[in-house]
A = this chain, B = another copy of it.
Amino acid sequence: MNQLFVIDKSSPLPIYYQIEESIKRQIEEGELHPHDVLPSEREYAELLEISRMTVRQAINNLVNAGYLYRQKGRGTYVAEKKLEQQLLGLTSFTEEMKARGMMPSSKLLSLELIPANEKIANQLHVTTNTLIYEIIRIRLADNMPMALETAYMSADLLKGLTAEILNHSIYQYVEKHIGLKIGYAKQSFESTIASEVEMASLSIAKHSPILLIQRTTYLEDGRPLEFVKSSYRADRYTFTCTINRH
């Protein structure tokens, strides 16, 4: 018989959220194992003395997040655990390196307001020659050069950007201080050979392979926030992500 949990109806936390956290905890602590059947939605509702729709809201979220799966007419089951990449959604360089247990830092080569050329203007949905930030940095992890990065950011959205702000996570700055919500990013991956500039910046040899990642980050409302071109040292960096079907 499944051990149940308790919820606090007087808590400011929504009930569906408390259920989500409790089920996640049960999975993580091994009280629920992969492919175990969960109590039915009606059981949860009766035992916790709440409505079935509230239970469904919690379970829907966990299904979308990949913790559970449902089978029509049969029941709701625990999915096999996702690995560490569970951690990764869309992350900035700073967040990602911290997650890998490395200390991220940057060497700022240039921070300027420049008029957007056609390609950049197109990526950021502004008109050509609109002023935007261009930020060129060498990205380091544990003080080793990892990537040469050029970022273009909308000056409209990020008024008064300073070198100081750039030293911390720009995503967290946008979310916590400006109050905008980051939604998603379109990202492309190519393999190339190091150029002269990259050889010098990253202290690598001629013909070294480079992982070229181009990313456009969008806010929740679909407005582009930044366009970034990053050249990663292939010997030190592998990019990992999780992609959902449909």
Contacts and interface: CB of A to CB of B under 8 A. Distances in A.
Of the listed residues A66, A81, A171, A210, the one surrounded by the most CB atoms of chain B closer than 10 A to its CB is: A66
A182 B245 contact: yes
Contacts of A192: 191, 209, 234
A90 B244 CA distance: 6
A2 interface: no
A85 B186 contact: yes
B77 A221 contact: yes
Given A221-B77, A222-B80, A222-B81, A243 B90 contact: yes
Interface residues of A, number: 52
B244 A184 contact: yes
Copy number in this complex?
A: 2
A223 B220 CA distance: 31
Contacts of A167: none
A188 B242 CA distance: 9
Contact of A186 (B89, B185, B189, B240): B240
Interface in A197-216: 207, 209-212
Contact of A125 (B80, B239, B241): B80
Q: Nearest 3 CB-CB pairs, A to B?
A: A80-B222, A79-B222, A191-B191
A92 to B, nearest CB: 10
Nearest to A80: B222
A77 to B, nearest CB: 7
A187 B234 contact: no
Contact of A209 (B66, B85, B209, B223): B209
A80 B240 contact: no
A184 to B, nearest CB: 5
Contacts of A186: 82-83, 85, 240-242
A157 to B, nearest CB: 13
Given A80-B222, A184-B245, A241-B243, A191 B207 contact: no
